[in-house]
A = this chain, B = another copy of it.
Amino acid sequence: MINFDDLYSVLTAVVPLYVTMFLAYASVKWNIFSPQQCGGINRFVAIFAVPLLSFEFISRINPYKMNLKFIAADGVSKILTLIVLFLWTNLSKNGSLDWAITMFSLSTLPNTLVMGIPLLKSMYGDDKESIMVQAVVLQCIIWYTLLLFLFEYREAKNLILTSGGGNNISKSNSNNSSISNSQRNDESFCVVQERVERSTRNEDDIVNVIQSLNRVAPAIATAVDDDKRELHLFIWRCRCCSSPSACEQSVEVRNRENEKAESVEEPNIIESPGSPSMLKKILKMVCFKLVKNPNSYASILGLSWALASCRWGIKKPQILENSVTILSDAGLGMAMFSLGLFMASQPKLIACGNKLAAYGMVARFVAGPAVMAVASIGVGLRGTILQVSIVQASLPQGIVPFVFAREYNLHPDVLSTAVIFGMIISLPITMLYYILLGL
């Protein structure tokens, strides 16, 4: 039975997260930070604070003493969801790959690192922290990679549908000044172009999101300004650009992404998205994205360190430890601050309309925990770990799936609503789960 003291100690851990978020929200509304300045803070969070925070948590676990049942429950729940969504996509008339991916993000990928660890620790004690860290590790290493794969698979499928197969796009890349007269080629080129642009966008994570969603003009002005020096490399134009400034942007992106893109874009698009060589290309693109994401390094380095240190009993030298914690200590607060900045930059809290928002909330706060409960009981979890497992599934939406959704332009409004509106309503919902499960 949960008493008032338990509840108070949970509030003690959670309210500061919301205070920080609100502070950021208010400072944008009061014009303390310009959009560019918000971009700087978000970029700091994406590149330094959060990866160092993940590293710090992951490197402290004992990978030889993982809770295998919890890991199994987590895996089973996600695979169950995937199977259901796969069947729906292929067998139902309403089924679509697009919505399957979004539903997967919504129902299985909560915010474990920033919200989960402090919340679950305050609810179930310090020793349950390691369960949450295990969830973080699995999410970073397995589930985000799978999600990226799904996005890239969809991208490849759409590219084939758009180009209708048979256009060798790499030709138009190698020949800068001559542009094919075929309208179709232009279009498919645009898709590739967009794709390359999007893969650049990945670098900036949530930064560009904030800059571009709300106040596009100054953000573009800044980008053009900052990167002018790269422009001289070569000038390369396409007919599909709607305005000269859009074209300039493409040129820049092209310049920066030139070599990388070459390796990725040799479509020979006659193949189906499921063919082995297409799969190889998709996997290549996934790797390319993972290599550019600081969180990948944080997870892999953290896990490697954990494996090595537990095997050979090595400890991090204190100087190294302190060098990481000096910035990772900033991670939690800064991540919440960044979320508040993002919230304030959105024109509406519910961007996707009330109906979609309601579906999203059901997926996040009802379907997700329900599937997790079934899977957990199925693999034999009982007692506190079962409670932890269900409550962590009812946390607000994770940020990374939103960043991907934005990057691939797949229902970003739904995911943004899930993150923002989800944060607001998650506290009572998560507390309700906590109280009900504690009865």
Contact = CB atoms under 8 A, between A and B. Distances in A.
A221 interface: yes
B332 A326 contact: yes
B33 A36 contact: no
Nearest to A43: B37
A410 B395 CA distance: 53
Contact of A322 (B12, B47, B221): B12
A326 B17 contact: yes
Interface in A372-392: none
A180 interface: no
B329 A333 contact: yes
A71 interface: no
A420 interface: no
A353 interface: no
A34 B208 CA distance: 13
A15 B334 contact: no
Contacts of A31: 226
Contacts of A33: 40, 43-44
A287 to B, nearest CB: 22
Nearest to A49: B330
A19 B218 contact: no
A310 interface: no
A259 interface: no
* Chain A interface category by residue count: 35 or more
Contact of A323 (B19, B319, B323): B19
Contacts of A34: 36, 40, 222, 226
A327 B319 contact: no
Interface string A316-347: 00110011011101101110110000000000
Contacts of A9: 318
A80 interface: no
Given A36-B39, A41-B41, A337 B327 contact: yes
A166 interface: no
Given A12-B322, A222-B222, A322-B12, A48 B36 contact: no
Interface in A141-198: none
A208 B326 CA distance: 26
Contact of A16 (B222, B319, B330): B319
A361 to B, nearest CB: 27
Contact of A221 (B37, B221, B332): B221
Interface string A220-239: 01100110000000000000
Q: Which 3 A-B pairs have the closest CB atoms?
A: A37-B40, A40-B40, A330-B330
Given A16-B323, A40-B41, A49-B330, 17 more contacts: A12-B319, A12-B322, A13-B322, A15-B322, A15-B323, A16-B325, A20-B326, A34-B36, A36-B36, A36-B37, A37-B39, A41-B44, A218-B222, A218-B226, A329-B330, A330-B330, A330-B334
